[in-house]
Amino acid sequence: MKILLCFGTRPEAIKMAPLYHELQQSNFEVKVCVTAQHRQMLDQVLNFFEIIPDYDLDLMQPNQTLNGLSANILASIDHVLNTEKPDLVLVHGDTTTSTMVALAAFHLGIKVGHVEAGLRTYKKLSPFPEEINRQITSRIADYHFTPTNTATQNLLNEGLASKAIIETGNTVIDALFWTINKIEKENYKHQEIEDLKKVILIDKKLILVTGHRRENFGEGIKNLCEALIQTSKRDDVIIIYPVHLNPNIKEVVYDLLSKQKNIILISPISYPAFVWLMKQSFIIITDSGGIQEEAPSLGKPVIVTRTVSERPEGIIAGFSTLVGTDTAVIVKTVEDLLNNFNGFENLNNPYGNGNASQQIVDYLLKNLK
C-alpha cells in the first residue's frame, strides 16, 4: 500500500514530520511531495526533521495571489498523482496546498486522509482563507483525523459519518517532544540557539511575540506594537519578537519598535530555535494556532491576539487568553500574568500527549485494505 504525504508550508511540515517517521516504520510505502508554498522556512524544517521529498514542486513565487497559487498547485500535482498512483493521500490542516491537493486527488478517485481535521470558527473570513480551506477539505476527505473532541463534534454536527472520524490528538505535540529530545542532547549544536543565549537576560521575564494573521494587518498590528511599547517600560521584562517577513507586518513592526528599550526584533528563526525560545519564555503573545497547541506542554501562558479561535480547548482549560488587538486589553492581560502567574496546576495538554502519529498509523494499518 502506497501513501503520499503532501504539504507546502512550515507549519504543515512540522506537524506532518512525526507522522512521516511513524509511517516509515510501518508496512506502507511512503512518498512525500512538497509544493514549497513556503520555501526557505519549509526547507529548514525538512532538514531538521531529516525528510527528503520525493517531489518538490517549488511553486513559491513573489507576491503570488491565492488564485494563482491554487491554480499552480492543482495543475502541478496532477503529474505526481498520475505517476505514483497512491492508495491514499494525506494532507494537513488548512492551507491552500491541503485543499488543492485534496481536490486533485478526489478528481482522480484517490482517497484522502485529513490530518488535524474539524477545526472551526464558522466565520469564513477569520481566519482567511484557512476557515474555508478546512471546510472544503472536510467535504472531500475520506478519513478525518481530529485533534480534540470539539473538532470531532464539529464534524459530526456537519453530518460526517462517525466511522470516518478518528480522534488522535494533534501531531504537533509529537513534533514538539521530538524536537525537545533532539535539541537537549549534549552533543547537539545549533548556531541560532547559541546566538539567542547571548541576548537572553536571565534576570528578566521573557515575553515572546509572534504575529502573521491577515486579519491583524493594519490597525491590529499597530495596536499590538503600542501594547508592547507600554509593557517594555517595565525593568523586569525583555521582549523578543521574531518578525514575519510579510511587508504588511515587517514594515510596521520595525518602524514602531526598532528603537524601543527592552524590545529585541529578530528575523524569523528555525523551528528548533523557536522551541528553545518558547521554553525560556514567561509569556507568549501570538496569533498562531500551533503555538496555542504547543505552549500547554511547556507550561507557558498564551495571550492570543485574535477575536475568535478555532482552538477553544486551550482557552477553556485556562492555558490561553483571547484578547483581540485592543491595546488596553493586551497590556492589562500581560500585566496580570507578569504580576500573578505562578504556573499551571494541571499540565494536561488538551491537544494531546505525543502519540497522535502512532494512533493515525495504527488506524491505517487496521483499516486500509
Active centre residues (catalytic) = 94, 116, 130, 212, 214, 244
Distance CA 308, CA 289 (A): 11
Distance CA 110, CA 62 (A): 32
C-alpha cell at 300: 507557558
Contact 57, 34 (CB under 8 A): yes
Peptide bond into 301 cis (omega under 30): no
C-alpha cell at 261: 528599550
